Amino acid sequence: MPPSTVVIGVDSSTQSTKAAFVDAATGRLLAVGRAPHEVTGEAGARESDPQVWWQALGEAVAAGLRESGVRASAVTGIAVAGQQHGLVVLDGAGRPLRPALLWNDTRSAPQAAALTAALGGPAAWTARTGSVPVASMTAAKWQWLRENEPYAAESAAAVRLPHDFLTERLAGVAATDPGDASGTCWYSTATGAYDAELLGLVGLDEKLLPTVAPTGATRIGSLTRAAAERLGLPAGIAVAAGTGDNMAAAVGLGLGGAGLLDHPVLSLGTSGTVFAATRTRPASPALAGFAAADGGYLPLACTLNCTLAVDKVAALLGLNRDDAVPGGEAVLLPYLDGERTPDLPAASGLLTGLRHDTTPQQLLGAAYEGAAVTVLRALDEVLRACGLDPADSEVASRPLRLIGGGARGRTWVETVRRLSGRPLLIPETTELVALGAAALAAGAASGQDAVTVATGWHAGSGTELPPLNRDWATWARVTSALDDLTGRFSA
């Protein structure tokens, strides 16, 4: 029997758009429509045309309608979760003035460093925004635009994040949420509002920015007639404020609100991300101290080099990704695109510890280990930001929720088990960002708390794996090399 009410959760990521059609009553995933994006750029540049995101959203929704067999009239709400930090500048008609600068565009590293110094250093930034400017943050990208393409900055009639741009296309309303706004470095997690002094520092008029809704599940408007005709959906359905992709994944897992707090998550995707939902406002210079989509906080660390970097090493060696074995004495830090955590935008890969008997399979294993240790070391800082001691036995026994594409890979799972010494929980669903967005849509349509909705859907349940004895020898080798590399590129 077809569901009586359906919600759509959109995951607009760096590489593609996914539109998840979800039974609002049970959380059953009915279909996922997909459409690709195009990313261009070299030498640190990463850009996409925002119009392609809108086109891809339409294609993904159309595919989801076909695959699910759902009647369009059953759809009651839609929400977008988007890649964080990207800079979209629009003209007075709402058209992009140039391609969007994406989160992994590292050209703005000098501007990030200059902004950090201009306010008085990392502590001054974390006290206000929860985060220190790095190349990925929107404020640094806006400053890069002002310095390198002043005409585009001066001509901007609106400044948006990727998910804001799509939400505005849906509802005709310029709105964002605290979660995604907190990744800009001009929104204060201390006050819950845009920071006038920081906007002045980067020369940005607040009138160009979207209104910040109380939560990502807030209904900010209704699907316009034009958007409804474009998507084949009923006009007037609820449009939620939406949020950033990491915040949506937390909602999908049932973290925050009345759900789980201070339980860590490791996402293995193009980037490696660790986060936890908490009521403790984070203020660590080593982290992004984000707000969450539900009104709480989401301390997060992100590494640029994760599955994509390891796959590149596998390709260079002519191996399949699961041909790896432990690296032995070899250490490989696969920082192929610089790094974000630690903040080393100019870094390159490091290989050390080679012997005559080192095998290609060990080199690939060393790449896995280098990427895993980098993100796991950041996990300890996330736990401290939650007010927890990573070495405490109770904290260490909490399952590490492993999500993202890497969570489906045998070698990734075993490497994380070996190097973390933690029990793992691998959710069954692979579409947590889209499901989290769907829960936001359900909240907007019904007035329910989105985390409570997602908890009832049981999207975070899955396979549990017991801990392994931690491989401290490998941990010590990799962290020593990481410290050396950090010293070299920080000097």
Report whether 67 contacts 19 (CB < 8 A): no
What's the CA gap between 68 and 72, in Å, rounded? 10
What's the CA gap between 274 and 45, in Å, rounded? 25
Active site residue 245: yes
What's the CA gap between 241 and 212, in Å, rounded? 9
What's the CA gap between 491 and 485, in Å, rounded? 10
Tell me the pairing of strands 272-275 and 288-291.
Answer: unpaired
Identify any residues that bridge with 131 across adjacent strands, giving them in sequence order: 288
User: Which token pair is 124?
Assistant: 């001054």
Which burial class, exposed, middle or buried, applies to 151 when counting CB atoms under 10 A from its CB (0-12, 13-18, 19+)? exposed
Around 228, how many Cα atoms within 13 Å sit in the side-chain half-sphere? 16
Q: Report in angstroms the alpha-carbon separations of 228 from 75, 232, 235, 239, 442.
A: 11, 6, 5, 11, 18
409-444 as b/e: b if 16+ CB within 10 A:
bebbbbbbbbbbbbbbbbbebbbbbbbbbbbbbbbb
Q: What's the first-to-final CA gap in the chain, in angstroms?
A: 64
Catalytic residue among 11, 245, 262, 343: 245
User: Which token pair is 208?
Assistant: 């160009």
What's the CA gap between 118 and 133, in Å, rounded? 11
What's the CA gap between 104 and 98, in Å, rounded? 17
Q: At what angle do helices 432-446 and 245-252 cross, to 10 degrees?
A: 80
User: Which token pair is 459?
Assistant: 């999207």
Beta strands in 235-357 (DSSP E): 238-240, 243-244, 265-268, 272-275, 288-291, 297-303, 331-333, 350-352
Report the chain's C-alpha Rg in angstroms: 21
- Kindly state the helix (H) or strand (E) to which residue 22 belongs, with its residue range: strand 16-23
What's the CA gap between 324 and 209, in Å, rounded? 47
User: Which token pair is 300?
Assistant: 């997060």
Task: Provide the annotated active-site residues.
Answer: 245
